[in-house]
Amino acid sequence: MENVSKINLSKEKNYDYGKLDLNDPKTLDTLTLERSDWVRAFVKFMLVTAIAIFVFFVPVNGSVPFGIIYGGAISIVESLVVINGQQVGALLLTTIILMGTGITSIIGKFFSKKDSKLYNYYKADSIIHPFLYMAGGIFILLYFLNKIGVYAAPEMIVGASTGEMVIPGVVIGVAFIIPVGAFFIPFLTDYGCIDFFGILLEPLMRPLFKVPGKSAIDASASFVGSTTMGIIITGRMFNGSVYTAKEAAVVATCFSAVSVGYAHLVMETAAISEHFVVTYFVSFFLAFVMAAIISRIPPISKKPDTFSNGREQTQEERTEGRRKFGPELVTTGVNRATMRAHTSGAMPRRIIRSVVDAFPVLPKVITLLCSIGILGMIVAKYTPVFDIIGYAFFPLTSLLGVPDAMVAAAAIPTGITEMFIPVLTIADQVAELHIKTRFFVTVVSMLQIIFLAESVVVIMNTGLPVKFRELMIVFIQRTIIAMPLAAIFMHILF
């Protein structure tokens, strides 16, 4: 980075931004503009930020526009192909992608010449990955054939608690979330929105959670949008050297929470939807309490304070949050956001780059979601594995005074497969189970965050610096910490 005091970009219109580390907020402080250029950049920041806030955070008829847009895209594509009376356009497209990924992964990993494009695409994958990709392709093909009435696939693979849950709700959803999200992410990250709100929230987020203020935007994107969207934003921020490895790990494992809409579906299944507001508020509050804890214990606390470009985070950057909220902080935020809007250039170029960068990630993510998700569901539904593991949690659920302690203990570990599964395992018993039990299982499942059918796969395929083993440790930590916290509110509220 070029060491300069002030650079007037209005006078140096052809300045090479490659000389600057624009992901360092302090670099933005060294940039200036003539008044007319500053006003134009400020208006761009305001307009783009308004669009980003509307798309990601403003509910319209109970759903944010981002959810409406990708849901609408699924519906349109689905209606394009009708077979035997079934609209299967989106399913057919996803099936082709997954089958293609399964076949090319075998070829690329085991038969392609080294340094070929196909070999390099799968080079970083383990020996196990091609078989998981192939399994994902086979699972969705069976589901597709069963859907159109051509072949009666095994219930174990395509049933209501396995394929029917994973493929329409998760796999197809994420297949459209990734490209639609890639289109809109630049509105959120590239034109000042993150910079402005980041510095304002720094005095809160840094001392409490060891993360920059801009991470609050990630958290909000998860809560009101989707888990996948929050993780994708985090991955983009880390790979762009905006977050350090530790910050990215904290955000991905602590703030990639379940969305409001999905939470409502979970609570309906647990028959506590009449307590939606209080249950969701408790989960929201406890998620931040747990973030403060998880960020301070290994393995997350041991992550380096290093950006993806190799730069070490300075002590000054870590202590910036100590500044008190006031006019100076707002002024700095506005100026940084304005400079970001100016240096980011034309919006179409940013959008095209974002979408192009997203597509190499998409096939691997959704194929693994399908294979790992369905395999996890099969284990949960058709084997006693989680019942056996549940015995380890029984002493704790009993100690915490959870009614139906064994039922709750057996449900809790199934959260590693998919966030919905703990509640699904008690769904056929809700009429007999105490409301305390249903509340407890629901809240703990919403606080576990780490699950194989979505968050684990997306975290590991977006370049985030967290290993599979570490994610499993964090899952255990979150579960053990969540249980007593959920029990406290269970006893207070019911």
Would you give the distance in Å from CA 250 to the centre of its chain? Answer: 12
Distance of CA 180 to the CA centre of its chain: 14
- 444-480 pLDDT, tens digit each: 999 998 988 778 888 988 889 999 999 999 999 999 9
Q: What is the pLDDT of residue 2?
A: 44
Cα dihedral 49, 51, 56, 61, rounded to 10, equals 140
| Residue type (1 letter), 150 | V
Per the prediction, the chain carries an average pLDDT of: 88
Dihedral over Cα of 6, 8, 12, 14: its sign: positive
Residues in the chain: 494
Lowest mean pLDDT among 180-184, 317-321, 324-328: 317-321
**pLDDT attached to residue 261:** 66
The mean per-residue pLDDT over the stretch 327-336 comes to 89
**The dihedral of CA 21, 22, 28, 32: what is its sign?**
positive
pLDDT band of 297, cuts 50, 70, 90: very high
- For residues 397-403, give the mean pLDDT: 96
CA-based nearest residue to 486, from 401, 380, 423, 388: 401
Average pLDDT for 224-243? 82
User: H or E element: which one contains 222?
Assistant: helix 215-224
Q: Domain map of the chain by residue range? A: 22-248+313-359
Residue 1: its pLDDT value, please?
42
294 and 473 in contact (C-beta within 8 Å)?
Answer: no
Instruction: Select the more confidently predicted residue: 478 or 387.
Output: 478
Confidence of residue 224 (pLDDT cuts 50, 70, 90): low
pLDDT of residue 285 exceeding 70? yes
Average pLDDT estimate for 149-175? 90
Q: What is the pLDDT of residues 117-141, one digit of tens each?
A: 999 999 888 899 999 999 999 999 9
Radius of gyration from C-alpha coordinates of the chain: 23
- The DSSP-derived string for 143-202 is HHHHHTTS----HHHHSTTTHHHHIIIIIHHHHHHHHHHHHHHHHHHSSSHHHHHHHHHH
> What is the structure's pLDDT at 210?
84
Q: What's the pTM value of the predicted model, to 2 decimals? A: 0.79
Q: What angle do the packed helices 276-294 and 193-209 form, to 10 degrees? A: 70
Q: What is the mean pLDDT of residues 268-287?
A: 87
- pLDDT-derived band at 340 (thresholds 50, 70, 90) equals very high
For residue 213, the model assigns a pLDDT of 81
Between strands 82-83 and 86-87, the pairing is antiparallel
Q: What percent of the chain has pLDDT over 70?
A: 96
Lowest mean pLDDT among 94-98, 173-177, 452-456: 452-456
- Structure tokens belonging to residue 178: 């990734």
Task: Quote the distance between the C-alpha of residue 248 and its chain's center.
Answer: 12
* Choice between 257 and 75, residue whose per-residue pLDDT is larger: 75
